[in-house]
């Protein structure tokens, strides 16, 4: 990746403004054309959203997009639509014991709406506040129930694959536990045993940092600074770690770039969240300083790997070990090519990863570490400058997607290959579109001097 030093957040504002214009058109198009009775839209085929997935993990992105659209533009049509749909249709996600995605579905909807109420953007109504708060409280506890204990008194929130499976994705979803804890809630188990949601969320984050992220310390033959494994496998009989694996990447010993991006954004967010907790709450977990060291190491490592292994314009290919990637030659020295004949890019990884780069950059800049902070910040802007323009930003009025060239599940062959192409391209995903909007809102708020965008905004100080 070739980090551009000439870019500023303010210089991206025209592209951000255009993105919100197109975003409104896409939301309206989906609302007119998509049949929600069929299930939650996941990704597009020939420009139309369709459903295909293992679990219901994208509906929060569908309705959360409307909240973000209102936040950025003030158009109350989207606020009222999001409020109605969240209240009427999202309850099943609050009590969904079968997924590890509560931070995606519920913080993106109930959390964003509560944040707007805290900011005075939604009129204060006691019933509405209580409704959002109870949903977030319960969601965090339901998420925490998916618990696998491992060696050393540690543990993790296991994926839908089962109790043996730690997904790197969940580091971005663990915020559901943090919000629930900050709202005063706990996980209640058998015999009224009360467990801290901060404890569970932190232990999960520590397990992810230890097992899902590599640091070039000789863990195996493919141990590189910042590489990630999509899935970490444990023996549930004794709690021992067994091996890396991958569901959506090429292999357990290569790096699926969307998983990498989840870690980039997730660890940067957990760094930011540390300030919200009291020192005495963190003491039993190692203390604030120790947690900061671990999270910062994971955030730096993953962001460094992204920069090192991404095309010059900041858009990554779907897996850094994809089997035909070598046929592209030195792809990191050239602009990404979504229409090549060998391996697809994944724009959704760029949308997620850019937010991680920006949050880490700001975190370090605020700490006075401006050399490193500027590097990550400018890398994030570089990726956004590419993502918010053609061929990634979708201007086709008939295409329901906002960001093109997203990849869902390359190994399963779920992604559409258009006529005349040899690899999947030209399609969008709910998570890619949502995270493009989210990072656009993040920069938009900084440019306009508005309150800093964070999931902590859903909790009143």
312 and 2 in contact (C-beta within 8 Å)? yes
CA 378 to chain centre: 20
pLDDT of residue 56: 85
Q: Which architecture characterizes domain 10-458 according to CATH?
A: Alpha/alpha barrel (1.50)
Query: 392-399 long-range CB contacts below 8 Å, 24 or more apart?
Result: 392/315, 392/338, 392/347, 392/350, 393/15, 393/18, 393/19, 393/22, 394/22, 394/26, 394/428, 395/22, 396/47, 397/25, 397/29, 398/29, 398/47, 399/26, 399/44, 399/47, 399/428
DSSP string, 118-177: HTTSS---HHHHHHHHHHHHHHHHHHHTSEEEEGGGEEEE--TT-TTEEEGGGGTTTHHH
Cα–Cα distance list, 88 to 19, 79, 82, 83, 100 (Å):
28, 14, 10, 8, 22
Beta bridge partners of 213: 228
Beta bridge partners of 231: 167, 245
Nearest to 229 by CA among 305, 175, 289: 305
Tokens of 98: 């079968």
pLDDT of residue 18: 98
Q: Is the peptide bond before 157 cis (omega within 30 degrees of 0)?
A: no
pLDDT of residue 53: 67
pLDDT of residue 240: 97
pLDDT of residue 266: 98
171 and 181 in contact (C-beta within 8 Å)? no
With tokens 């009222």, the residue in question is: 80
State whether residue 241 is helix, strand or coil: strand
pLDDT of residue 55: 82
20 and 404 in contact (C-beta within 8 Å)? no
pLDDT of residue 85: 97
Q: What angle do CA 428, 17, 7 make, to 5 degrees?
A: 90
CB-based burial of residue 161 (10 Å sphere; 0-12 exposed, 13-18 middle, 19+ buried)?
middle
Per-residue pLDDT 10s for the chain (461 aa) are 999 999 999 999 999 999 999 999 999 999 999 998 888 999 999 999 999 767 889 999 999 999 999 999 999 999 999 999 999 999 999 999 999 999 999 999 999 999 999 999 999 999 999 999 999 999 999 999 999 999 999 999 999 999 999 999 999 999 999 999 999 999 999 999 999 999 999 999 999 999 999 999 999 999 999 999 999 999 999 999 999 999 999 999 999 999 999 999 999 999 999 999 999 999 999 999 999 999 999 999 999 999 999 999 999 999 999 999 999 999 999 999 999 999 999 999 999 999 999 999 999 999 999 999 999 999 999 999 999 999 999 999 999 999 999 999 999 999 999 999 999 999 999 999 999 999 999 999 999 999 999 999 999 87
| All structural domains of the chain with their residue ranges | 10-458
pLDDT of residue 427: 98
Task: Quote the pTM value.
Answer: 0.98
Nearest to 68 by CA among 99, 112, 111, 30: 112
């Amino acid at each position: 990746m070739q980090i551009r030093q000439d870019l500023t957040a303010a210089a991206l504002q025209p592209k951000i403004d255009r993105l919100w214009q197109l975003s409104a058109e896409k939301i309206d198009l989906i609302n007119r054309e998509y049949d929600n009775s069929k299930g939650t839209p996941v990704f597009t085929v020939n420009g139309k959203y369709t459903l295909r997935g293992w679990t219901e993990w994208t509906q929060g992105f569908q309705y959360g997009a409307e909240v973000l659209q209102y936040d950025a533009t003030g158009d109350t049509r989207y606020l009222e639509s999001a409020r109605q749909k969240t209240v009427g249709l999202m309850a099943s996600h609050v009590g969904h014991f079968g997924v590890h995605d509560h931070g995606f579905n519920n913080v993106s909807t109930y959390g964003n709406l509560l944040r707007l109420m805290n900011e005075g953007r939604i009129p204060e109504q006691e019933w509405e506040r209580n409704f959002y708060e109870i949903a977030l409280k319960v969601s965090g506890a339901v998420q925490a129930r998916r618990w696998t204990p491992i060696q050393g008194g540690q543990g993790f929130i296991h994926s839908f694959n089962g109790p043996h499976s730690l997904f790197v994705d969940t580091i971005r979803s663990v915020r559901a536990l943090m919000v629930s804890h900050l709202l005063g809630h706990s996980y209640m188990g058998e015999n009224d045993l009360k467990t801290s949601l901060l404890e569970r969320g932190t232990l999960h984050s520590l397990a992810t940092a230890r097992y899902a992220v590599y640091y070039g310390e000789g863990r195996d033959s493919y141990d590189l600074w910042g590489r990630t494994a999509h899935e970490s496998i444990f023996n549930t009989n004794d709690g021992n770690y067994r091996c890396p694996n991958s569901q959506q990447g090429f292999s357990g010993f290569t790096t699926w770039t969307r998983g990498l991006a989840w870690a980039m954004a997730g660890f940067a967010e957990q760094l930011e969240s540390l300030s919200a907790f009291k020192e005495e709450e963190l003491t039993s977990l190692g203390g604030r300083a120790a947690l900061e060291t671990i999270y910062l190491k994971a955030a730096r490592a993953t962001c460094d790997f992204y920069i090192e292994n991404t095309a010059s314009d900041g858009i990554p290919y779907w897996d850094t070990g994809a089997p035909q990637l070598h046929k592209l030659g030195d792809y990191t020295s050239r602009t990404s090519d979504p229409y090549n004949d060998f391996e697809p890019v994944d724009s959704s990884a760029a949308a997620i990863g850019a937010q991680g780069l920006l949050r880490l950059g700001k975190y370090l800049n605020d700490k006075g570490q401006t050399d490193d902070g500027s590097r990550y910040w400018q890398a994030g802007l570089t990726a956004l400058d590419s993502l918010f323009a053609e061929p990634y930003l979708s201007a086709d009025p008939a295409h329901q997607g906002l960001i093109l060239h997203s990849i869902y599940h390359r190994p399963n062959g779920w992604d559409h290959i258009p006529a005349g192409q040899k690899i999947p391209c030209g399609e969008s995903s709910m998570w890619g579109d949502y995270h493009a909007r989210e990072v656009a809102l993040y920069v938009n708020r900084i440019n306009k001097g508005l309150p800093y965008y964070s999931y902590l905004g859903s909790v009143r100080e």
